[in-house]
Amino acid sequence: MSGEWEEQIRAALGEIPCELVIRDVDIVLCGAGKVAKGDIAVHRGTIVGMLEHYEAQREMDGEGMYALPGFIDGHIHLESSMLTFCEFSKLAVPHGTTALVCDPHEIANVCGLSGIEELMREAASVPLSVFFTAPSCVPATPLETSGARLDASQLEPLIVRDEVVGLAELMNMAGAIHRDPEVMLKVRAARRVHKRVDGHCPLLSGKQLNAYMMAGPSSDHESTLPEEALEKLEKGMWVMIREGSVSKNMEEVLGGLLDAHVDMRRCMLVSDDRHPLDIRKRGYFEGVLTRAIEMGVEPVEAVAMVSLNPAQYFNLDGFGEIAVGKRADIVLTDGLEDISIQRVLVGGKEVASNGKMLADVPSYRFSPALRDTVRLPPLTESSFAVRTHAEDTTRVRVIGVLEDSLITESLRWELPVVDGEIREDVDADVLRIAVVHRHGKTDSIGLGFVRGFGLNGGTIGSTVAHDSHNLVLVGARKRDMLVAAQHLASVGGGFVAVRDGDVVASLQLELAGLMTTASSEEVSTGLDELHRVVAGWGCPLSSPFMTLSFMCLPPIPHLKLTDVGLVEDFSLVSLEVSSL
Amino acid sequence: MSGEWEEQIRAALGEIPCELVIRDVDIVLCGAGKVAKGDIAVHRGTIVGMLEHYEAQREMDGEGMYALPGFIDGHIHLESSMLTFCEFSKLAVPHGTTALVCDPHEIANVCGLSGIEELMREAASVPLSVFFTAPSCVPATPLETSGARLDASQLEPLIVRDEVVGLAELMNMAGAIHRDPEVMLKVRAARRVHKRVDGHCPLLSGKQLNAYMMAGPSSDHESTLPEEALEKLEKGMWVMIREGSVSKNMEEVLGGLLDAHVDMRRCMLVSDDRHPLDIRKRGYFEGVLTRAIEMGVEPVEAVAMVSLNPAQYFNLDGFGEIAVGKRADIVLTDGLEDISIQRVLVGGKEVASNGKMLADVPSYRFSPALRDTVRLPPLTESSFAVRTHAEDTTRVRVIGVLEDSLITESLRWELPVVDGEIREDVDADVLRIAVVHRHGKTDSIGLGFVRGFGLNGGTIGSTVAHDSHNLVLVGARKRDMLVAAQHLASVGGGFVAVRDGDVVASLQLELAGLMTTASSEEVSTGLDELHRVVAGWGCPLSSPFMTLSFMCLPPIPHLKLTDVGLVEDFSLVSLEVSSL
Average pLDDT of B88-116?
97
| B260: closest chain A residue by CA | A34
Minimal Cβ distance to A325: which of B206, B214, B263: B214
Q: What is the pLDDT of residues A272-283, one digit of tens each?
A: 988 888 898 899
Handedness of CA A410, A411, A412, A414 (dihedral sign): negative
Instruction: Report how far apart the first and last C-alpha atoms of chain A are (Å, whole number).
Output: 70
Distance, CA of A500 to CA of A263 (rounded, Å): 56
B49 reaches A (C-beta below 8 A):
yes
Which residues have CB under 8 Å from B142's CB, separation 6+? none
Average pLDDT of B66-77?
98
Q: What is the pLDDT of residues A485-494, one digit of tens each?
A: 999 999 999 9
Q: What pLDDT, on a 0 to 100 scale, did the predictor assign at position A204?
A: 97
| A212: closest chain B residue by CA | B9
Q: What pLDDT, on a 0 to 100 scale, did the predictor assign at position A246?
A: 77
Whether A285 shows a pLDDT value over 90: the answer reads yes
A261 reaches B (C-beta below 8 A):
yes
Q: What pLDDT, on a 0 to 100 scale, did the predictor assign at position A461?
A: 98
The residue count of chain A comes to: 580
Q: What pLDDT, on a 0 to 100 scale, did the predictor assign at position A35?
A: 98
ipTM: 0.92
Which residues have CB under 8 Å from A181's CB, separation 6+? none
Average pLDDT of B311-317?
97
Q: What pLDDT, on a 0 to 100 scale, did the predictor assign at position B555?
A: 78
Q: What pLDDT, on a 0 to 100 scale, did the predictor assign at position B428?
A: 97
A234–B36 CB contact, under 8 Å = yes
Average pLDDT of A191-209?
97
Pairwise pLDDT comparison (B183 vs B555), residue with the higher score: B183
Q: What pLDDT, on a 0 to 100 scale, did the predictor assign at position B25?
A: 98
Name the average pLDDT for chain B.
96
Minimal Cβ distance to B325: which of A9, A54, A236: A236
Instruction: Report how far apart the first and last C-alpha atoms of chain B are (Å, whole number).
Output: 69
Q: In percent, how much of chain A has pLDDT > 70?
A: 100
Whether A470 shows a pLDDT value over 90: the answer reads yes
Span of A29-33, A495-499, B98-102, B465-469 with lowest mean pLDDT: B465-469
Cβ of A225: how many Cβ atoms within 10 Å?
15
Q: By C-alpha distance, which of B377, B370, B372, B369 is closest to B486?
A: B377
**A135 prior amide bond cis, ω within 30:** no
Q: By C-alpha distance, which of A95, A87, A37, A74 is closest to A346?
A: A95
Q: What is the pLDDT of residues A130-156, one digit of tens each?
A: 999 999 999 988 899 999 999 999 999
Q: What is the pLDDT of residues B481-514, one digit of tens each?
A: 999 999 999 999 999 999 999 999 999 999 999 9
Is the distance from CB of A153 to CB of A164 less than 8 angstroms? no
| A205: closest chain B residue by CA | B52
B261–A52 CB contact, under 8 Å = no
A321–B194 CB contact, under 8 Å = no
Q: By C-alpha distance, which of B62, B38, B51, B67 is closest to B12?
A: B51
Q: What pLDDT, on a 0 to 100 scale, did the predictor assign at position B193?
A: 95
Q: What pLDDT, on a 0 to 100 scale, did the predictor assign at position B529?
A: 96
Q: Tell me what percent of chain A is helix, strand and coil, each rounded to the nearest 5.
A: 30, 30, 40
A234 reaches B (C-beta below 8 A):
yes
Q: What pLDDT, on a 0 to 100 scale, did the predictor assign at position A554?
A: 86
CA-to-CA dists, residue A298 to A223, B34, B35, B131, B490, angstroms: 22, 18, 22, 35, 64
Minimal Cβ distance to B9: which of A41, A177, A261: A177
The three-state secondary structure class of B561 is strand
- List beta partners, residue A42: A20, A47
Q: What pLDDT, on a 0 to 100 scale, did the predictor assign at position A275?
A: 86
B37 reaches A (C-beta below 8 A):
no
Which residues have CB under 8 Å from B368's CB, separation 6+? none
User: Per-residue confidence at B448, pLDDT binned at 50, 70, 90?
Assistant: very high
Average pLDDT of A241-249?
90
Q: What is the pLDDT of residues B127-164, one digit of tens each?
A: 999 999 999 999 988 899 999 999 999 999 999 999 99
Residue A85's region, left for phi above 0, alpha for psi from -120 to 50, else beta, is alpha
A140-159 as b/e: b if 16+ CB within 10 A = bbebbbbbbebebebbbebb
Whether B1 shows a pLDDT value over 80: the answer reads no
Query: Which of chain A's residues have a Cβ under 8 Å away from the Cβ of B28?
Result: none
Pairwise pLDDT comparison (A542 vs B153), residue with the higher score: B153
Q: What pLDDT, on a 0 to 100 scale, did the predictor assign at position B554?
A: 86
Q: In percent, how much of chain B has pLDDT > 90?
A: 93
Q: Among B50, B234, B262, which would you mutate to test the A interface (most chain A Cβ atoms within 10 Å of its Cβ)?
A: B234
Minimal Cβ distance to B48: which of A36, A177, A210: A210
Query: Which of chain A's residues have a Cβ under 8 Å away from the Cβ of B131?
Result: none
Q: What is the pLDDT of residues B262-292, one digit of tens each?
A: 999 999 999 998 888 889 889 999 999 999 9
Q: What is the pLDDT of residues A34-92, one digit of tens each?
A: 999 999 999 999 999 999 999 999 999 999 999 999 999 999 999 999 999 999 999 99
User: Per-residue confidence at A508, pLDDT binned at 50, 70, 90?
Assistant: very high
User: Per-residue confidence at B373, pLDDT binned at 50, 70, 90?
Assistant: very high
Q: State the smallest CA–CA distance between residue A9 and chain B in angstroms.
A: 5
Q: What pLDDT, on a 0 to 100 scale, did the predictor assign at position A91?
A: 94
Nearest-10 Cα torsion for A385, A387, A390, A392: 10
Average pLDDT of A239-248?
91
Answer whether 0.90 is exceeded by the pTM: yes
A325 reaches B (C-beta below 8 A):
yes
Name the average pLDDT for chain A.
96
Query: Which of chain A's residues have a Cβ under 8 Å away from the Cβ of B9?
Result: 176-177, 179, 211, 214-215
Query: Which of chain B's residues have a Cβ under 8 Å away from the Cβ of A220?
Result: none
A31 reaches B (C-beta below 8 A):
yes
B228 reaches A (C-beta below 8 A):
no
Is the distance from CB of A262 to CB of A301 less than 8 angstroms? no
Distance, CA of A162 to CA of A185 (rounded, Å): 20
Distance, CA of A303 to CA of A286 (rounded, Å): 10
User: Per-residue confidence at A107, pLDDT binned at 50, 70, 90?
Assistant: very high
Strand A56-61 and strand A18-29: the pairing is: parallel
